[in-house]
Amino acid sequence: MPSTRWLTGPQERAWRRYRRMRTLLDLQIARDLNRDSGLSETDYDVLSTLSEQPGSRWRARDLAAQLLWSTSRLAHHVGRMEQRGLVNREPTADDGRGAIISLTEQGRAVLHQAAPPHVASVRRNLIDLLTEEEVATLDTIAEKVIAKLAPSGGTTPLDPNAA
């Protein structure tokens, strides 16, 4: 066993700062979103992902995969959002196991009302603080990490029940 390669000073500083940024940024954006629209970040993710598909209709399985959620998490969360009238659930026509999640009219309206202040919050708390180069580097960094970790890369099942 080789001796541990500890982080160098700059590496340790970057790692700590990254973690602190994550905590503060998530919190602030979630608070802004909730204050402006009464939505959680997860609610917003569901609504905006749904709206990106023609007809705003997704097979539950695909929606879970897109969100990097387990199907269990999706079932719980969609159940709550259905109670609030934001989304709709119905069985699939062709596959008896399936479920189709779709936006309700109200869900669409809430999303349209939520988007502008949410984008403003993302700008205010992150994007507009950075130079163009910094945004590009952030993208590069994230791309590298995702390339290593993305489920398409193989051995990282997000769903405990998945094959």
Partner DNA sequence: AATGAGTTACTGACATGTCAGCAACAGGCT
Partner DNA sequence: AGCCTGTTGCTGACATGTCAGTAACTCATT
Instruction: Kindly identify the residues of this chain, within the stretch 59-88, that bind DNA according to CB under 7 A.
Output: 59-61, 64, 69-80
Asked if 115 interacts with a second copy (CB under 8 A), we say yes
Helices (H), 1-59: 9-37, 41-51
Asked if 101 and 78 touch (Cβ cutoff 8 Å), the reply is: yes
Smallest distance from DNA to CB 45, Å: 9
Q: What is the three-class DSSP state of 2?
A: coil
Q: Which token pair is 121?
A: 């919050």
Please give the C-alpha separations between residue 74 and each of 7, 39, 89, in angstroms, as whole numbers: 37, 16, 12
Asked if 47 and 102 touch (Cβ cutoff 8 Å), the reply is: no
Smallest distance from a second copy to CB 141, Å: 6
Q: Which residue, 40 or 102, is less far from DNA as judged by CB?
A: 40
Task: Measure the CA–CA gap between 152 and 19, rounded to whole angstroms.
Answer: 25
Asked if 162 interacts with a second copy (CB under 8 A), we say no
Asked if 40 interacts with DNA (CB under 7 A), we say yes
Asked if 96 interacts with DNA (CB under 7 A), we say yes
Asked if 24 interacts with a second copy (CB under 8 A), we say yes
Binding site for a second copy (CB under 8 A): 4-7, 10-11, 13-15, 17-18, 20-28, 68, 115-116, 119-120, 122-123, 125-127, 129-130, 132-146, 148-150, 156, 158
